[in-house]
Amino acid sequence: MNRKQFFLLIAVLVILGGLVWALKQRDKTSWSQTESRVGQTLLKNFQVNDVAVIHIDNGHTVVNLVKKEGQWRVSERGDYPANFNMISDLLLRIQDQKIIQSDTISAEQRPPLELIEPNKDKPSATSIEMKDGAGKTIAKLLLGKRYTKKGAGGAEMPAGRYVMVAGDDKTVALIDNLLLDSEPKPETWLNKDFVRADKIKAITFKNNDSSLAWKMVRDQEAGEWRLADAQSNDKFDSTRGTSAVNAISMMSFNDVVASSASLDTGMDKPRIVVAETFDGLTYTFRVGQEASDDNQYVGVTVSGEPVKERVAAASEKPEDKKRFDKEFKERLAKLETRLKFEKTLSSWTYVTPKWRLDPLLKNREGLMMDKQNAEAPQVTPINPNAK
């Protein structure tokens, strides 16, 4: 090797060494940048009060939660009121979410982590896009694959989730919150508060041809239930009557029909259940056809106004009157607030569990004792002191 070739070789080695050093420094800088985000919030300067629209999409289903006139609503359910607590909890968790690990990622690495845009044909992310009142995107997250760790016994336990923030498609973050409540199922985001009829004094059930099936009443709040048109040979089963009362008091629903125009809900010829209360309110339930999954279509209207004045008992002591009057006013205030909400529920058709309605949808004979119980002789208890 001559002198010229030697110096040329030295120059090449210097250049290669420089390139290796530069690459290492770049990797070191990248690693330092990603690791420096550990412990930081996922979204900087994110303000929950600025959010007016939440769009959630997993490629199969979509839900849009929209704030209208100060109230959150579910667009896919005819703007039915949304569960404010669930929405508030989701936004606060996103605001406070810390990064527990961060790293750079290539485009080829995103699909295995399910960090691609929602796609119905392949495993993909759940997208959460949050917008302001003008429709401008505030932030967008891609929630990817769940991260698991081995727990006791070697079982895989959920420990976090891979996340990407829109606008940075080269950085993946690991968070310790699965954000499972962010699934785009419209029915899960509904406000499930429903009518709460209590202090019931009468229940009437009419068939879908408007004929009277039965009516049961009681004279006092703690009084016994009886059939309004009881016959001498009737053997009314008070337990079944109580079950009907409880069915109304604990009425609930699973979902709301966004539009019943294209459905055969049977609400054009419904069976009618009317509950009247000692408070002066009337709850009318319209029961339509059976829906899928053992559910029933139901509509409800609430009418009347609560009694404003308390009637004191003749035997009431003066020292008790002040306390009773205070309790009455407090209950009246709560009742008026509840009634204001309940009167807004008549605009929708509900999907109610059939088992909730079964105690109400009986014919007259269904409220009677079984034959063997009705015919059982009444046994007089033996008095051990009798001679």
Provide the 8-state DSSP code for 15: H
**CA proximity to 78, closest of 185, 181, 186, 182:** 186
Residue type, 141: L
* Bridge partners (DSSP) listed for residue 190: 82
**CA proximity to 196, closest of 351, 359, 346, 339:** 339
**CA proximity to 295, closest of 360, 257, 352, 256:** 352
pLDDT for the residue numbered 35: 57
DSSP-derived 3-state class of residue 357? helix
The answer to whether residue 193 scores a pLDDT higher than 80 is yes
The answer to whether residue 114 scores a pLDDT higher than 70 is yes
> Rounded to an integer, what distance in angstroms lies between the CA atom of residue 12 and that of residue 21?
14
Q: What are the boundaries of each domain within the chain? A: 48-189, 200-374
Burial of 170 (0-12, 13-18, 19+ CB in 10 A): middle
pLDDT for the residue numbered 62: 97
> Which stretches does DSSP call E strand in 41-197?
53-57, 62-68, 71-74, 80-81, 101-104, 126-131, 137-150, 156-165, 171-175
Q: Which residue has the higher pLDDT, 10 or 282?
A: 282
Q: Which residue has the higher pLDDT, 281 or 377?
A: 281
| Residue 270 pLDDT level (bands cut at 50, 70, 90) | very high
CA 339 to chain centre: 21
Average pLDDT score over the chain: 87
10 Å Cβ neighbour count for 315? 6
Q: What is the pLDDT of residues 123-145, one digit of tens each?
A: 999 999 999 999 999 999 999 99
pLDDT for the residue numbered 13: 57
